[in-house]
């Protein structure tokens, strides 16, 4: 069992060099994860966080290829699908498999915000009505104030992207946080925090200029909310779907 376990781990590491969870999952290996956590740890490296990374398999939206019962699904989760790359997970308890199934079932009722969206129309919205390029750069075009989005489709699911667009402050990546300083002379400057240490602060200000301040010269400094405007009320569902579909299509390789 142990040997098999290690072989499976190595196989999944080779397939998926990018999985940050591959090691942690085997170190803990307990039953305490919720279904979602377990899915992230054991399954998302192949299936993707949204469950639709493998061609013709969609785990996240209640669109299984067959009308499996919960027991059948739990069996697939524990034993894999013979003669396919879908592996058994030998140390998976029935209880945990059941939690994962419950999690997948719960996601089925969530609609995919990007569904039916059109990436080409989304691109036009990005450049036009959304004014996104005022803060974001894609394939060398646009501003550096906000995060670069050329590969955003590789690191965020459509659900996560929709959250970023509707509730910009709800989940800010640590290196995307905005910072504001007020100098002793009363000048206020805000921008993306690039770096700070005990004595200095460096920002990329709203004109995309690199600014450096000595902390001793500041009256005030601190994180401020994201300047990214929410699309709530500005974009309808169709426009949101188009924009999300465009962002999902940004994977760094093509020149979109
Ligand atoms: C090493 C990659 C890999 C891992 C890890 C993995 N899967 Fe899969 N899974 C696959 C592949 C590939 C298929 C399609 C197999 C086939 O050709 O039938 C699949 C198929 C499935 C199916 C059948 C879907 C359907 O519509 O018939 C389910 C359910 C499933 N996986 C759930 C999971 C769960 C839950 C986990 C985590 C415990 C997991 N998988 C981990 C690769 C993986
Ligand atoms: C005023 C500047 C500004 C505008 C305009 C703006 N954004 Fe942003 N955006 C930001 C900043 C700053 C962040 C990082 C902080 C955060 O997550 O809210 C961000 C974050 C994001 C993220 C999350 C990135 C990640 O790594 O998770 C996405 C996606 C995004 N913006 C897309 C858009 C789109 C699409 C538009 C146009 C509809 C837009 N933004 C308009 C400044 C802006």
Would you call 87 exposed, middle or buried from its count of C-beta atoms within 10 A (0-12, 13-18, 19+)?
Answer: middle
164, 208, 233: residue to mutate for ligand 2 pocket, most atoms within 8 A of CB: 164
Phi, psi of 23 (to 5 degrees): -80, -45
Q: Which residues contact 94 (CB under 8 A, 6 or more apart)?
A: 74, 78
SS3 179: strand
Do the strands 178-183 and 141-142 form a parallel or antiparallel pair, or are they unpaired?
unpaired
Mean confidence (pLDDT) of the chain: 83
Q: Per the structure block, which two tokens stand in for 221?
A: 């400094």
- Of all protein residues, the one whose alpha carbon is nearest to atom 24 of ligand 2 is 147
Distance, CA of 126 to CA of 133 (rounded, Å): 7
Domain 119-171+229-248 CATH assignment equals 1.10.760.10: yes
CATH 2.30.30.100 occupies which residues in the chain? 178-224
CATH 1.10.760.10 occupies which residues in the chain? 2-108, 119-171+229-248
In ligand 1, the atom with minimum distance to the C-alpha of 39 is 37
Check residue 109 and give its pLDDT: 67
The alpha carbon of 57 and the centre of ligand 1 are apart by a number of angstroms equal to: 8
For residue range 1-57, list pLDDT tens digits in order. Answer: 344 444 444 444 434 433 333 333 332 333 335 788 888 889 988 887 778 788 889
The alpha carbon of 227 and the centre of ligand 2 are apart by a number of angstroms equal to: 8
- Of all protein residues, the one whose alpha carbon is nearest to atom 17 of ligand 2 is 172
pTM: 0.62
The alpha carbon of 86 and the centre of ligand 1 are apart by a number of angstroms equal to: 4
Check residue 122 and give its pLDDT: 97
Query: DSSP string of 156-176?
Result: --HHHHHHHHH-TTSS--GGG
Check residue 193 and give its pLDDT: 92
Which class is domain 2-108? Answer: mainly alpha
- Of all protein residues, the one whose alpha carbon is nearest to atom 5 of ligand 2 is 132
Statement: residue 226 has pLDDT above 80: yes
- Of all protein residues, the one whose alpha carbon is nearest to atom 41 of ligand 1 is 43
178-224 has which fold?
Answer: SH3 type barrels. (2.30.30)
For residue range 164-177, list pLDDT tens digits in order. Answer: 998 888 777 777 88
SS3 232: coil
- Of all protein residues, the one whose alpha carbon is nearest to atom 5 of ligand 1 is 43
The alpha carbon of 84 and the centre of ligand 2 are apart by a number of angstroms equal to: 40
Among 28-32, 85-89, 130-134, 199-203, which is the least confidently predicted range? 28-32
CA angle 190, 229, 40 (to 5 degrees): 100
Nearest ligand (C-alpha, residue 178): 2
């Amino acid at each position: 069992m142990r040997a098999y376990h290690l072989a499976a781990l190595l196989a999944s590491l080779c397939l998926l060099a990018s999985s940050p969870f591959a090691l942690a999952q085997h170190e803990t290996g307990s039953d305490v994860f919720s279904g979602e956590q377990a899915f992230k740890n054991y399954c998302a490296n192949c299936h993707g966080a949204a469950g639709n990374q493998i061609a013709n398999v969609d785990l996240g939206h209640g669109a299984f290829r067959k009308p499996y019962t919960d027991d059948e699904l739990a069996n697939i989760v524990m034993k894999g699908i013979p003669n396919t790359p879908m592996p058994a997970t030998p140390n998976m308890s029935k209880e945990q498999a059941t939690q994962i199934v419950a999690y997948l079932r719960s996601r089925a009722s969530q609609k995919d915000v990007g569904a039916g969206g059109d990436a080409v129309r989304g691109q036009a919205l990005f450049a036009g009505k959304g004014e996104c390029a005022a803060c974001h750069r894609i394939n060398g075009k646009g501003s550096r104030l906000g995060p670069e989005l050329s590969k955003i489709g590789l690191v965020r699911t459509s659900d996560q992207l929709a959250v970023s667009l509707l509730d910009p402050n709800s989940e800010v990546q640590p290196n995307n946080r905005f910072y504001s300083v007020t100098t002793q002379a009363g000048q206020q400057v805000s921008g993306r925090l690039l770096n700070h240490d005990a004595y200095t602060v460096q920002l990329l200000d709203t004109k995309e200029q690199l600014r450096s301040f000595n902390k001793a010269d500041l009256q005030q400094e601190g994180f401020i909310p994201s300047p990214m405007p929410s699309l709530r009320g500005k974009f309808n569902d169709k426009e949101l779907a188009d924009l999300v579909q465009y962002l999902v299509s940004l994977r760094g390789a093509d020149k979109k």
